[in-house]
Amino acid sequence: MTKSNAFYAQSGGVTSVINVTACAVINELRKNQQQIKDIYAGNNGILGALKEELIDISCEPQGNILKLMHTPGGAFGSCRYKLQESSADFERIIHVFKAHNIRYFFYNGGNDSMDTAHKIAKYSKHIGYDLQCIGIPKTIDNDLAITDCCPGFGSAAKFLATSMSEANQDVASMCATSTKVFVLEVMGRHAGWLAAATAMATFDDNSPHLIIFPEILLNIDKFLALLEQKVKTHGYCCITISEGAKYETGNFLSASTSVVDSFGHQQLGGTAVNICTLIKKNLGYKYHYAISDYLQRSARHISSKVDVDQAYAVGKYAVELAMSGETDKMPVIIRKSNIPYRWAIKSASLEKIANKEKKLPKEYIDNDGFGVTQQFYDYLQPLIQGEEVPIYKNGLPVYAKLQKKLVEKKVKIYTPNI
């Protein structure tokens, strides 16, 4: 059998476990020495292919590769870059792949990236270049279609639920004379999975908590009435607000319109301060707010074991798919039972996942529109199970420090339109 090379790239916003997937891909590829000669990773994701910056994995000691298991962020660099619709970018990628005999392409990202992977698969087929192109799911937003959940989400959910449970203890102890309202702003542009996750902290014991989902336009009067009732009953209330929360007008509570990424998405943030100002003005409560931002997606120190296991499993399965000749596919997680939680990995066509966005289903949001249902609780419960504690040295987590040695370039310079 002719050996060829494999290329792995990380894409979009990173997670605390995307490197777990990278570790799995590398480990599995190394087991397939009959088919695989060299393993490359894209320096800064797909830009690595466009700019012919291929990181030579063979230069990384296995100890470093194993440390990827507890290294947050994207160890090889990620990027937000949308391939130009004109074929130049696509031509370039295949040109670089050809020059380096790359026949296996693993693209680890969210729904935009699955669209890119699908287009590359189609393009390579169209021009007759034999390429096994496999997408691998990753997103804390949990918004990919078909898969029951997305690697990265369970850990972000566990961090946010833990943080809310801790903050709930804090504000409960302060409310007699001080803070009455604590607001936690979480990510999730259009899908309220992360906002909903914080309910795990308060669902069991019915602690006072209101969640402002991006899926439900904010009825301010109803919200303030509910909040006042909670504070009167409990002395305080915790609030989770999604960065994507919208007024009834359809406008974001906060949007920095000047900052738009290459996919045309606005950079959001700052909803917490707006809702606090509204509360102070109308009800006079003292507030505090936290914005978890990158902390929620990089908190590897409190990753869920189930999430780590699944992040590994999708990487392993992706290699198995490629080795068996599949292309234009993505591994998806299938839930077989809730109690005990059992799951398996299957594959789905990239076309069915590309650019789709799975919002929080209506039946997961309670009638008030500010909380979750038992169904959601049962859905999320298994995904935050288990603690996969990183290795600590001198009190702080230890990470992989990669060499990132680039393979010698073989083709002309190309300048992507960043």
Q: What share of the chain is helix, strand, coil (3-state, %, to 5)?
A: 40, 20, 40
Structure tokens at 124: 């390579």
The yes or no reply on residue 245 touching its own copies (CB under 8 A) is no
| Least Cβ distance, residue 85 to its own copies (angstroms) | 18
Phi, psi values for residue 211, rounded to 5°? -120, 130
Nearer to its own copies, 142 or 327 (CB): 142
* Closest separation in Å from C-beta 268 to its own copies: 11
In angstroms, give the least distance from the CB of 227 to its own copies: 18
Handedness of CA 89, 95, 100, 106 (dihedral sign): positive
Residue 323 DSSP symbol:
H
Please work out the total of residues on this chain that contact its own copies, with binding judged by CB under 8 A: 78
Q: Does 62 bind its own copies (CB under 8 A)?
A: no
Q: Of 59, 91, 222, 392, which one interacts with its own copies (CB under 8 A)?
A: 392
Q: Using the rule CB under 8 A, which residue among 116, 292, 327, 373 binds its own copies?
A: 292
User: Which residues are tagged catalytic?
Assistant: 141
Separation in Å, CA 291 to CA 122, 157, 165, 270, 272:
40, 15, 15, 8, 7
Who contacts 314 (Cβ-Cβ below 8 Å, separation ≥6)?
21, 24, 136, 137, 151, 331, 333, 345
150 is a contact residue toward its own copies (CB under 8 A): no
Instruction: Name residues contacting its own copies, limited to 259-288 (CB under 8 A).
Output: 259, 261-262, 267, 269-270, 272-273, 286, 288
If binding is defined by CB under 8 A, does position 201 make contact with its own copies? Answer: yes
Contact positions with its own copies (CB under 8 A) in 88-107: none
Choose, by CB under 8 A, the member of 91, 130, 166, 248 that binds its own copies: 166
Residue 223 near residue 240 (C-beta atoms within 8 A) = no
Q: How far is the CB of 377 from its own copies (least distance, A)?
A: 10
What's the min distance (Å) between Cβ of 381 and its own copies?
6
Give yes or no for a cis peptide into 208 (omega within 30° of 0).
Answer: no
Q: Which two tokens stand for residue 71?
A: 């290294």
- The verdict on 4 binding its own copies (CB under 8 A) reads no
Residue 392 corresponds to which tokens in the numbers above? 């600590």
Residue number with CB closer to its own copies (272 or 333): 272
Residue 216: phi and psi, rounded to 5, are: -120, 120
